[in-house]
Amino acid sequence: MAVVGHVEWIEFARVPEMPAPGAIVHSSEVWEEPGGGGAVAAVQLAKLAGGGLFVTALGDDVLGHHAAATLAELPVGPKGRLRIEAAWRPVPQRRGFVHVDTNGERTITVVGDRLGPYGGDDLPWDELAGCDAVYVTAGDSHAVRQARSAKVLVGTARALPALAKAEVALDALVASASDVGETYAPGDLPVEPALVVRTAGAAGGTWETPAGARGEWAATPLPGPVEDAYGCGDSFAAGLTYALGTGMAPAEAVQLAARCGAACLTGRGPYAGQLLSSG
């Protein structure tokens, strides 16, 4: 299993409520760790699969190198390892700031451009052909074409421009039912995905195929108290990628994905609550 995507260095602050215009709020807890959709999905996928590959691009600065080292050290199971393969860019590493309120809701501010790998970068693209599944969150169209060599290719609606330019057939596209920047409508891609999954947070979500098959799921009961919503959607996408890569049908795959999203919600930051296996 592999992820082709991006990383953001995130500063978290837990606050009683989101600040209103002109207001000052005081944090009760602060911490920092690598985040971004690519990183979160790569760690969750590695936890489910017992290891994995993350192909990315990072700023060639202190934060970029710190992000790579931190991700490589995150536990992904007793014998698992997440291997980081990065193209280093001569630009500052993309950063973000996240407020987390008492309800666990997160509000994100990002600083800098999203860094994704290019298909022409000196990265182990040939290894993707041996993957059961690859999830793409960022990269150019050539990188998407490289990822298409995998058995199953899943993309996010946040990467629609690159996915459209690549003109490849996706086995699944993860979109949002309402979030701006993550929606999908038929025709947004030149080749219709074999499966479109639309998430709706606590309302669950729906899935559909071009042939007319449809389904929906309810949100999975939480395995613990709500802590932090950051990374729930990316963990969901990783669970879906893993499930489809192991041959699960859509109705079964979204159930595992929903479990991943619910588990993430109970942990501090994106990684503490993630599922360690699909069992």
pLDDT at 180: 80
How confident is the model over 136-189, as pLDDT tens digits? Answer: 999 999 999 999 999 999 999 999 999 999 999 999 999 998 888 899 999 999
Q: Are 237 and 194 in contact (CB under 8 A)?
A: no
pLDDT average, residue stretch 29-47: 97
pLDDT at 198: 97
Q: How far apart are CA 235 and CA 262, in angstroms?
A: 9
Q: Hey, what amino acid is at 14?
A: R
Q: Global pTM?
A: 0.96
Q: How far apart are CA 77 and CA 94, in angstroms?
A: 28
Domains and CATH numbers, the chain: 2-18+30-265 (3.40.1190.20)
pLDDT at 78: 81
Q: How far apart are CA 64 and CA 62, in angstroms?
A: 6
How confident is the model over 231-273, as pLDDT tens digits? Answer: 999 999 999 999 999 999 999 999 999 999 999 999 999 999 9
How confident is the model over 193-230, as pLDDT tens digits? Answer: 999 999 998 899 999 999 999 999 998 999 999 999 99
pLDDT at 178: 83
> Which one, of 202, 185, 147, 139, lies nearest residue 169 by Cα?
147
Q: How far apart are CA 142 and CA 165, in angstroms?
A: 9
